[in-house]
Amino acid sequence: MPSPLVRTKLYVPRARHTVVPRARLLDRLVDRLGTGGQPRLTVVSAPAGFGKTTLLAAWAAAAPRPVAWVSLEASEQHPGTFWTYVVTALDTAVPGVGAGVLPLLQATAPHPGAVVATLLNALEAVTGGVDLVLDDYHLADAPAIADDVAYLVEHLPTDVHVLLGTRADPDLPLARLRARGELVEVRAADLRFTLAEVTAYLNDVAGLDLDAREIAVLEDRTEGWVAALQLAALSLRGREDPAGFIAGFAGDDRYVVDYLVEEVVRRQPEHVRRFLLETSVLDRLGGPLCDAVTGAGDSRSVLEFLERANLFVIPLDDSRQWYRYHHLFADVLRAHLAQERPLEVAGLHRRAAEWYAADGEPEPAVRHALAAGDVELAADLVERSAIELLRRRQEATVRGWIDAIPDAVVRVRPVLAIAFIGALMSRGEFDTVPDRLAHLEGLLADPAAEVVVLDEREAARVPGAMETYRAALALVAGDPAGTVEHADLAIERAAPGDDLTVAAASALAGLASWAAGDLESAHRAYSGAVEGLERAGNISDVLGCSITLGDLRITQGRLDDARRTYERALRLAAAHEADGAGGTGGPLRGVADMEVGLSEIALEQGHLTEAAAHLGRVAALGERLGLPQLPYRRRVAEARLREAEGDLAGAVALLEEAEKVYVGDYSPDVRPLPAQRARVLVAQGRVDEARQWARTRGLAPDDELSYVREYEHVTLARVLMHGRDTSGATTRTAYDLLERLRVAAEEDGRTGSLIEILSLQALATLAGSETPDVSAALAPLERALRLAEPTGHVRVFVGEGAPVAVLLAAVVERNPSWAYPRRLLDALRPESSGASGHGLVDPLSSRELEVLRLLATSLDGPEIARRLFISLNTLRTHTKNVYAKLGVNRRRDAVTRAGELGLL
């Protein structure tokens, strides 16, 4: 099934030679936009027939940089469809700009805010700028669109510009943009032909040879309205008494147009007139389609004649395969058709529906079937295509049909009913789903019910699918037991060979176990889902499940198993690509996500160069080869690498970017991005901001614990350990919280979590007494090391910096033959002392360098001492040594001197 995108809507209309050059308007646009200056938005606003599209097309033809063009229709009022067209147009104009955005739009429930934020980031990287033209914007202007378009316009890079062609002012902050000088406006008064332009059009272009008085009358009657002038010129051709005709029409705009169209149409040969009326029901005009609708066989030649005669047909592609009527002309033609031949309208739409259906384009087929009033035909068309569209994640299209098909028709068609339920679920619209499921269950159970089934194989899937959706409802409602119960029923009731239902149900059961913290059951269920997806050939979904499988193993502390999961998925994708089964002509979608997973494991095992190499492969593949979550997952992985390299500010910036492009799904958000950012803030010494995060999230040390919030509570413990309380009370509170977290993680086998918790308990013990007690902190640390050694965890220890070095040194001293802690201690040394020399006669020690870096923050002395887990007297000694080695006497001078030497 082809993509639902109509590619002809992305073509810049070809500038006509039979138009009057409008230098005064083009110069106005070029002067303001040609250099990529301050204006963000151009609005060309006027009623129909004023030449908005012609002006924009002429400007685009001469534009000095790439132009992305979208001819909008009413169907683009849905955000997913609208932004898909916009991003595809930009990607066509500047290849690659949509690589990271289009995957977001293919998500189960794309978030327009994330889409726009990611698009803005992509546009920022465009060299030389780009212009985006949204023609007929009034057709798509809706509340669901306007806010995000306003955000886009307000935050555009300086060399990106948006131009709107519209019949009405858009719902955008025009007054604010106007006041800031960021708006260019072209109105109806500007677009009206001047007397000179009227003369040029009627005599030079139309070749009418009218005198000045006749031209003046036409200019006065039409008020420079381009469409009316064009119609008048067509009506005047070949008349023996042009003056009499010119004097014969008057009235308001609507009357003028109706009159002139009637004159133009009446003067055409009968077969052309019939063609115009019958094809007016079509949005697009192509030879085979028009043949099917009119029943004639010469549509291609008629379309070419209409174009030569300048009869309001606009070519939509360079090869002249597709056209459309000028909107105003089409409106009047349809009015004449309804008035003259009302009984034929439905039949014309029905033939159009049948042609589109045979051509594999369900969306226009359904639209014409509904316009014909044939809801049964529409239902047939939807039923035959909806399941496949859902499988291709085109839920927005199916959702748009739900309100158009009468519920009474849907309720006797099980396949159609389950498809609509699937579309509602995928869009997060759960309210009516239970009632729909109950009705469908009753329909299937009633042997006397009149049931319409077009495809018996799809009908056999319905019972299993019903239980799958019930499992999903239970998951959304926070009922893990109900989720598992219905998932088991779905597997039991699945039709033979229905691997997708089995896979979906298994995945839902796995999600329920995951949210409850039972990771082994979750892994087992997800493995079953992967098996079903492999049998079904849905390899991209296998890769999606592999992300979860890898995450589960990482949380269990089984890094090598997680690596094997990702590597197996990559081998499967490579084999699929080699077989040509993907049909993509390149790497399979999801390959980039596997590379992100491998980078995370490499980083955790201390292989920073390897982690960077994996992320480099992600960049080379591009986000278009990623699943919907890739844009934020990639940024998180890059942030962790930046943090490991000591670039904490860069890490925070990347995490903030990740929040903007975050896309959720049914999976539990077990490592929320704000919590990850809070951890880096603590490392930066911005503890007050981290405390504000904890307050915003409503976190407290005595909360009831759950796995879903485990990461946040561990983060809270980190915040408490860096509190201002000199009595050590907050550190003790942190230790008590960590102890409860340790028990929970240990009971449920979350070894990865347990390693981190034990490490923090060791540090909390070290910090909990006025005189640091290293020996008391060794027990939890040694246990953490024993758990971590088999899979080689590094970052969980090394990331804690100098405080853990003190403990590791003590472990090495107590266990001189134990190689693992010695390796970790060696890994810490380059991070702590790599810049200690810098030409100083007496270089700074590792601890002195650590003290110096904290002196450059806003932390006071007691806070720095607590951060380093040393006494205040020890800090004073280190500070005195730092001052002496730098040759200064004050903290400010020490920071200045350190900056000069590159020590910071």
Mean pLDDT of successive 10-residue segments in the chain (904 residues)?
Answer: 67 74 80 60 85 90 91 84 92 88 69 80 87 93 88 90 90 88 87 89 85 86 77 77 72 56 76 93 94 92 82 77 81 86 95 93 90 91 81 72 83 89 82 92 87 87 94 90 93 91 93 90 93 86 91 94 95 79 62 94 93 89 77 93 89 91 81 96 90 95 94 96 70 93 94 96 80 79 96 93 86 91 82 46 73 80 76 83 84 79 70
Three-point CA angle 362, 367, 372, nearest 5°? 125
**Contact residues for 621 (Cβ-Cβ < 8 A; gap 6+):** 587, 591, 592, 595
User: Which CATH fold would you assign to the domain 7-191?
Assistant: Rossmann fold (3.40.50)
From the candidate CATH numbers 3.40.109.10, 1.10.357.10, 3.40.50.720, 1.10.10.10, the one assigned to the domain spanning 846-901: 1.10.10.10
Helix axes 673-684, 648-660, angle to 10 degrees: 160
Task: Using DSSP bridges, classify how beta strands 160-166 and 313-315 pair: parallel, antiparallel or unpaired.
Answer: unpaired
Where b means 16+ CB within 10 Å and e means fewer, 54-92 reads bbbbbbbeebebbbbbbbbeebbbbbbbbbbbbbbbbbb
What is the C-alpha to C-alpha distance for residues 762 and 760, in angstroms, rounded to an integer?
Answer: 5
What is the C-alpha to C-alpha distance for residues 302 and 261, in angstroms, rounded to an integer?
Answer: 18
* φ, ψ (nearest 5 deg) of residue 764: -65, -40
pLDDT of residue 605: 94
For CA atoms 189, 194, 197, 201, the dihedral sign is positive
pLDDT of residue 832: 40
pLDDT of residue 841: 59
Report the Cα 224 to chain-centroid distance in Å.
Answer: 44
What is the C-alpha to C-alpha distance for residues 697 and 691, in angstroms, rounded to an integer?
Answer: 10
Residue 222 token pair? 């039409």
What is the C-alpha to C-alpha distance for residues 494 and 492, in angstroms, rounded to an integer?
Answer: 6
DSSP code of residue 608 = H
User: 472-475 contacts: CB < 8 A, separation 24 or more?
Assistant: 472/425, 472/508, 472/666, 473/425, 473/430, 473/433, 473/434, 474/512, 475/508, 475/511, 475/512, 475/515, 475/666
Name the β-bridge partners of 135: 71
Q: Do the beta carbons of residue 299 and residue 243 sit within 8 Å?
A: no
Tell me the CA end-to-end span of the chain in Å, nearest whole number. Answer: 58
**What pTM, to 2 d.p., does this model score?**
0.67
Helix axes 846-855, 802-814, angle to 10 degrees: 160
What is the C-alpha to C-alpha distance for residues 369 and 381, in angstroms, rounded to an integer?
Answer: 9
For CA atoms 779, 783, 784, 785, the dihedral sign is positive
DSSP code of residue 342 = G
Q: Does the 539-656 domain belong in CATH 1.10.287.3510? A: no
In 558-672, alpha helices (H)? 559-578, 591-604, 608-621, 630-644, 648-660
3-state class of 313 per DSSP?
strand
pLDDT of residue 291: 95
What is the C-alpha to C-alpha distance for residues 789 and 606, in angstroms, rounded to an integer?
Answer: 13
Residue 235 token pair? 């009506």
pLDDT of residue 831: 42
3-state class of 105 per DSSP?
helix
**Sheet of 41-45, strand order:** 67-71, 130-135, 160-166, 41-45, 183-186
pLDDT of residue 829: 67
pLDDT of residue 313: 81
Say which residue the tokens 């958000």 belong to.
669
Helix axes 591-604, 608-621, angle to 10 degrees: 170
Say which residue the tokens 């308990």 belong to.
761
Q: What H or E segment, with its residue span, contains residue 145? A: helix 143-154
What is the C-alpha to C-alpha distance for residues 603 and 558, in angstroms, rounded to an integer?
Answer: 14
- Residue 113 burial class via C-beta count within 10 angstroms: exposed 0-12, middle 13-18, buried 19 and up: middle
Q: Do the beta carbons of residue 379 and residue 410 sit within 8 Å?
A: yes
Of 563, 622, 612, which Cα lies nearest the Cα of 592?
A: 622
Where b means 16+ CB within 10 Å and e means fewer, 619-630 reads eebbbbbbbbbb
Of 221, 202, 190, which Cα lies nearest the Cα of 22?
A: 190
Q: Do the beta carbons of residue 885 and residue 849 sit within 8 Å?
A: no
Report the Cα 397 to chain-centroid distance in Å.
Answer: 17
**Contact residues for 96 (Cβ-Cβ < 8 A; gap 6+):** 622
Q: Is 776 left (phi over 0), alpha (psi -120 to 50) or beta?
A: alpha
Q: Do the beta carbons of residue 96 and residue 622 sit within 8 Å?
A: yes
* φ, ψ (nearest 5 deg) of residue 44: -105, 100
Residue 449 token pair? 């019910």
What is the C-alpha to C-alpha distance for residues 142 and 395, in angstroms, rounded to an integer?
Answer: 20
